[in-house]
Every structure is written in C-alpha cells, then in structure tokens.
Chains A and B, each alone.
Chain A
Amino acid sequence: MLTPGKALKVSIYLSEGSTHHGASTYSSILDFLYFRGCSGATVLKGVAGFGADHRIHTSHSVEISDRLPLRIEFIETPEKVHELLGKLEEMVGTGMIEVQETTIAKPAQLSKPQKAPVPQHIKLEGKAQMMRIFIGESDRWHDQPLHEALIRAMRANDLAGATVYRGILGYGAHRRVHKEKPLSLSHDASIMISVIDTEQKLQQFLPIVDDMVEEGLVVLSEVDIIKYSPRASESVE
C-alpha cells in the first residue's frame, strides 16, 4: 500500500504488436501487475514514435500501425518494484524499462486489501500438489467468467499450468443440477479447473482463490510429477 513520501515510478516502453508467450505483451504485463498486487498501472498509447530500430511508427501508415508505441506506467514502493522488475525485464522483450524516483503527495484511496504472493519459476519435479476447483460456468468475477479470471490469475502468478474442464452433468452444495443442453443459451455447466504445481506455490495462490471464489469446492491432493518440460523457448534460464 502506498503512503505519501518516496516511491519509484516505472515506465515501460514497448510496441503495440509485441507478444509474450502468444498474448499481447501489454495485456500480459497489465495482468502481471494486477494479480501481483500492484497499486495501479496505466497503459498509454502513443500516436507516433520511434525506438531502437530507428523507424518511425505512426498511425497513418496502415501496414505498420500495429507497431505504435505504448507506455505502461506504475508507481510502487522500491521493495515492490525490485520484486517485480526481474519478471518485467523478461516480459518486455526488446522494449525499454525506465525507473525514476518520485514523491507521492497523496496516494490513491484503496477500496480493497491487496494480496501479494511471491511466486518463483522453479523446476517442477517429484512431489507436487494438484488443485481442483469446482465452480459453475455462469459464475462471474467482476465482469468476466470466473473460470477465465482464475486462469488469468494463475498465469499472472506463474503457476505451471492449468486446464479447464466442462462437465456434462453435475450438482454441488445447492443441489442445483448443472446440465449440458445442446441448444440452450444458458451456459451453466459444471466447470473443473485442474492445476498442478508445488505445494508452496499453490498455498500462496489459495488466498487469491479465497478472494475470487464465492461458491465452490477446492480439493488438494498430492501427486508425483513424472515429466514437466516447458518448450525450450519458454523455459527460464
């Protein structure tokens, strides 16, 4: 939580079209900052600019209009900035990151408590935990489907991987039967999300599940990891 006084302002310069593991870099960074408990961040879109490649990108030229400059700004305590910086450097790819000292005159009002787990990208082997989350397909979190929000939160917290399954029939604590109807528009099937990672990382993620899941069941079990090999290009060091 920000308090008046010294802080750091981070500006990240990148181009609009750049991607990180298949998703657009700026939205990945925004998700990362959001789910890592950053106090706030803004994405600004430039109308023209040039960078390391020394080519001018403007909104007039149609063919390169996806290369418009973007700037992501956020202000945080020095400790928090240093915690986030390593991962940001990896995510930003060819872009630039600038950190400057700043002074907070008046912090923004917080409307809810922050959660800030500290995930590490570690090699997965041997004993691990499997978390299964049972929810309904129509459950929502803020303005999006809960299962999609959970997956984004897991991704932003560096969990090793997650899969969403849709059930064809099921019921939960409220005896509300979830049924798949081929031509029905009411999407209220049972959803199971399965995620496997170390016990430590799943325990760190649980407070976020606490926050996001209003109704549902979470089960944890021990598993042995036989093989986990991210593609070479995606592995970290």
Chain B
Amino acid sequence: MKEQFQARMLRIHFTEGDKWEGEPLYKAIITKCMELGIGGATVFRAIEGFGASARIYHARTLSISKNAPILVTVIDTEEQIQKLLPHLDRMIQGGLVASSIVEAIRYTPADRPPKT
C-alpha cells in the first residue's frame, strides 16, 4: 500500500558521548519517539565532523572516548513532531536541530498494516 502525505523531518545533531539520564542520548531520543508513537526514527554515526564546540572528530583517531558525531533523523506529521519538540528541548544540552517540510511516501505491504 502506498500513502502520500506532507510531513516534517527533524535532523538532530549531537555526539555519541552525550547522555540523558545515564543512557546514550540517541537511545533516549529513539525511546521517546517510540513512546510518543512517532512513525520512525533512524540514528546515523558519522565518520568525521565538528560542531559548535569546534572539536574535530575522526573515526581513524584511536581514541577510546566515543565521541563520533551522531545524526538522528525523525519523520512524521507536523502534529506528531510538535509533540516531540518540548522533549528535545529538555534532553539536548549541546547540539543542533534542523527542521524541514518534506513530501513523504509510505509503503506498507498489503498483508501487514502498520501498527498504530
């Protein structure tokens, strides 16, 4: 099945070392998204980057401090994303959230409708 709708996409940038209540921030954000019933979210680890604090991270640096740049992409309807934003305000200490309006097409196999 194919459905087309207008959606909002958040791209949340921070680092792998960031924590929220004892667990990695990216895990906490994914958990929060699932709690809120947000359609989907994906975490990517980058191989190099720098941020507001201007530290450069390389994957090749043999550092045990796990501080790779992390990107979390969250896509859902405007309404759902608005529910998430106040939580992000609390959880993200240092980072960047970029937001854009996107055209979304969702494919679901006919025999397995998505859970809501």
* A residues whose Cβ falls under 8 Å from a Cβ of B: 132, 134, 165-175, 177-178, 190, 192, 206, 209-210, 213-221
Contact = CB atoms under 8 A, between A and B. Distances in A.
Interface in B49-105: 73, 75, 100-105
Given A214-B107, A216-B107, A217-B75, A134 B2 contact: no
Contact of A221 (B100, B114, B115): B100
Given A168-B44, A192-B73, A174 B107 contact: no
Contacts of B44: 165-168, 192
Majority secondary structure, B binding face: strand
A220 B6 CA distance: 10
A221 to B, nearest CB: 4
Nearest to B113: A173
Nearest to B101: A221
Nearest to B76: A217
A224 to B, nearest CB: 12
Given A192-B44, A217-B104, A217-B106, A169 B26 contact: yes
23 contacts: A134-B40, A134-B42, A134-B75, A169-B27, A169-B30, A169-B42, A170-B41, A171-B30, A171-B40, A171-B41, A175-B115, A178-B42, A190-B43, A192-B73, A214-B107, A215-B107, A215-B108, A216-B106, A217-B104, A219-B9, A220-B103, A221-B9, A221-B103
Contacts of A165: 44
A172 B41 CA distance: 7
- Band of interface residues on B: 20 to 34
Q: Which of A167, A178, A192 has the most CB of B within 10 A?
A: A167
Majority secondary structure, A binding face: strand
Given A168-B26, A168-B45, 11 more contacts: A167-B44, A171-B33, A171-B40, A174-B112, A177-B30, A206-B105, A218-B104, A218-B105, A219-B102, A220-B104, A221-B102
A166 to B, nearest CB: 8
Interface in B6-27: 7, 9, 26-27
B12 to A, nearest CB: 13
A170 B44 CA distance: 9
Contact of A219 (B34, B75, B108): B75
A46 B106 CA distance: 47
B104 A173 contact: no
